[in-house]
Amino acid sequence: MLSLFTKILDIDDLDNRFVARLFFAILLFMRWMAYFMPFGDSDLSGLYSWYESAMQDPSIYSMSYSNGLSDFGLSVGNGIYLLTLLGVSFLSYVLMFIYAGVMIREHRLGNGEYDSLKPISEGKLIFRSFFLVIALAVMFCVASVFLIMLFIFFFLLIPFVAVFCGCYISGDSKFFDAFSDCRRRMRGNYIFCLRIVGILGLLGLILQFGMSALEEVMNPQGFYVINAFLSSFSILCTARGIGVIYCFVERTGMRTRFPRKKVNEAPGKGSRIK
């Protein structure tokens, strides 16, 4: 358990460490830009006022809105700022999947046992990471109404989502084929994958409690610096969790699904050529 925890925390553990450090620097830079040099107006007090009014008078939710953002206490600058935050989140998840794909790719390049599975190319990995974030966002929005009511069920589905993402970004499966491939690879491996998800959940809770405590005692500028650092670290830890899960199910499953071809012995060493 401790070895898994340290493997997930070691975000610098790639053959090409420059890639890991570059990803971390990009994540950190995007968050610092959003905090200290935001595009648009970061003052969302109007939105908070509208929300407090709506909580006190729920009939506000049913009112017809015709003036756009101003009906919610937002300005055009607020809208630009919120779109900027959405863009930062989108690119963060793209980098997370690219990191996981790089980890899986390096695992295959350094493991010559399974020649039937070739590492994905860099261009295809980047394209699939962008597509995967968009597809998962759409699927989550559609299913969110049901999953919010069934949080425990959603938690139990996370290992399948992680393996599904691994199947797709590794290049093993096309998008829709990854659903059936994910189900096959999870046979006999679900408990291990759930342990990794539990470790990631525990790490998230520790970071969340720590940030809540720091927010009470630190000034906003210092808090934003540490929050950006820990958020970037958490994203890459999640990427490593996906990589660890997929590399494990790949290693345990290849022996039965992709057995190694036996090389015929040379003549004169007891073998017969038919």
pLDDT band at 91 (very low <50, low <70, confident <90, very high): very high
Question: Is the pLDDT at 78 greater than 80, yes or no?
Answer: no
Q: Which residues contact 77 (CB under 8 A, 6 or more apart)?
A: 40, 41
Average pLDDT over residues 62-84: 71
Among the residues of the chain, which ranges form H helices?
A: 2-9, 17-36, 45-56, 76-109, 122-149, 151-169, 177-185, 190-217, 220-257
pLDDT band at 267 (very low <50, low <70, confident <90, very high): very low
Task: Give the number of other Cβ atoms within 10 Å of residue 95's Cβ.
Answer: 23
CB distance 200 to 238 below 8 Å: yes
CB distance 50 to 93 below 8 Å: no
Angle, helices 151-169 vs 190-217, to 10°: value is 110
Indicate whether this model's pTM tops 0.85: no
Q: Which residue did the predictor score with more confidence, 177 or 40?
A: 177
Q: What CA–CA distance (Å, rounded) separates 158 from 170?
A: 18
Confidence (pLDDT) at 201: 84
Q: Which residue did the predictor score with more confidence, 267 or 190?
A: 190
Confidence (pLDDT) at 203: 86
Question: Is the pLDDT at 58 greater than 50, yes or no?
Answer: yes
Six token digits for residue 160: 């399948």
pLDDT digits (tens, 9 = 90+) for 122-155: 888 888 889 989 988 888 877 776 666 666 677 7
Task: Give the number of other Cβ atoms within 10 Å of residue 181's Cβ.
Answer: 18
Question: Is the pLDDT at 57 greater than 50, yes or no?
Answer: yes
Q: What CA–CA distance (Å, rounded) separates 121 from 257?
A: 23
